[in-house]
Chains A and B, each alone.
Chain A
Amino acid sequence: MGEPKDKIGIKEYTVIALLMIGTKTTDDIPAMLFDSLMNAGWTAPFIAGVIALVPLTLLLHLATKYKEKNLIDICYHLFGKFLGFIVLFILWLIGFVYIALDTATYTDIISTMYFVKTPSIIIYAVLMGVCAYGAKRGLEQIGSVSWAVYPYLQVSLLLTLILTLGQGKASFLFPIFGPGEWEVMKESMMNLSIYMDFLYLFILFPFVKSTTDFRKGTWIAFIVILFNLTITMVSYVMLFDFQTAMTLNYPYHEVIRSIRMGFLINLETFFFPFWLIATFIKFAAYLYINILLFGKLFNINHFEYIIPAFSTLIVFIGMIPETPTFSVHYFKEMVGNIASPMFFFLPILLWILAKIKGDLRT
């Protein structure tokens, strides 16, 4: 495998971005937002998205200027070899810890909501096994599969949203700013890490066919994600009201259990497989990018040989918390508090350094 030989096009890149970030409202991210923002939890992805425009615009500006260079090359070029290594190592570590925590959450979702009798280690091993196989197949295959299944995933989400919004009450959304405008702004800023994956996606820049494809793909993905995340959060508040939503750890899975379509009940049996496919693709892409970064950091060209080690280690680390529903949630908040400022300030710092070096002059 090694680095991809063929480049991926705009549609593959866009759907990879959509699946990596768009699935975030189906895990415990909504619970985190409702905890602090109550009924205004739905505003956080939107406001965080607006704030994320700053680092995203700067990243895309850098991408246009440094053609054929990805985040790794730009970091080494602007920070120097030593500092660049440190910055990238921190990025890799945040990514690795986040994958371990996120997979632990998804395993917890599957084991507490669907396969209650199956040991968590089996579910975790199957999840990581499939994702490791996906990552081993390489970026082109991840992109092709993403593109093949994305329409079905989006339609299933749309169907969930239509049913949820139809059965919900719009009055639950008010007052719009819940605990207060300042609190909403502060929490949105602290949850900026929702969009941090765009920083990791910048590593894939040289493997996308053209700079235009990368720019267009990023903007399309960003707009669709912003819309998806906000509407999904709105649907949770409208269906449950914020007091119930605050007590739910995985609102999406409660939603698909609660909604009904005419005489059809237990709709989770219909929506769960789609969610599962999105989960496999999401973690395959995460794993691929994280291993690619590790390989670049330590000059390992055939990084596919460390995929089994990474997946096994993630399973063992993810199994450490005894009560994942609560402890992983806490650890994710901690990682988010480190990742959010990094996502905001790193592109700004890179852009300023590029400006000082005179690389942005055309």
Chain B
Amino acid sequence: MNTTITFVVIFVFFYTAGFAVTLWREKNKLGSAAVFLLAVSIVITPFFSVFR
């Protein structure tokens, strides 16, 4: 189960971080920072819930 969750976390992180990069290139720095923060929180939160 943990392996599947890890794969999902990695996939969603890169997908979201990629979108943050796109926003940065489009000069939307605030949006890019917000989306990147979202991507980072996807990596952090499982350690307080499913990986506990």
A residues touching B (Cβ–Cβ < 8 Å)?
119, 121, 294, 297-300, 305-306, 308-310, 312-313, 316-320
Contact = CB atoms under 8 A, between A and B. Distances in A.
A312 B34 contact: no
A309 B39 contact: yes
A306 B42 contact: no
Contacts of A308: 12, 15-16
A97 B41 CA distance: 14
Nearest to B30: A298
Given A300-B28, A316-B49, A306 B35 contact: yes
Contacts of A297: 34
A2 to B, nearest CB: 13
Given A305-B19, A317-B49, A312 B30 contact: no
Contact of B38 (A119, A121, A299, A313): A313
A3 B13 CA distance: 24
A119 B12 contact: no
Contact of B1 (A121, A294, A309, A319): A121
B39 to A, nearest CB: 6
A316 B47 CA distance: 9
Contacts of A318: 49
Interface string B34-51: 110011011001101110
A308 B14 CA distance: 11
A156 to B, nearest CB: 33
A319 B42 CA distance: 13
Contacts of B9: 312
Contacts of A298: 28, 30-31, 34-35
Contact of B15 (A300, A309, A313, A320): A309
Nearest to A322: B52
Contacts of A305: 15-16, 19
Nearest to B22: A305
A316 B49 CA distance: 6
Contacts of B45: 313, 316-317, 320
Contacts of B12: 308-309, 312
A121 B50 contact: yes
A299 B8 contact: no
A61 to B, nearest CB: 32
- Max count, chain B CB within 10 A of own CB: residue among A294, A310, A313: A313
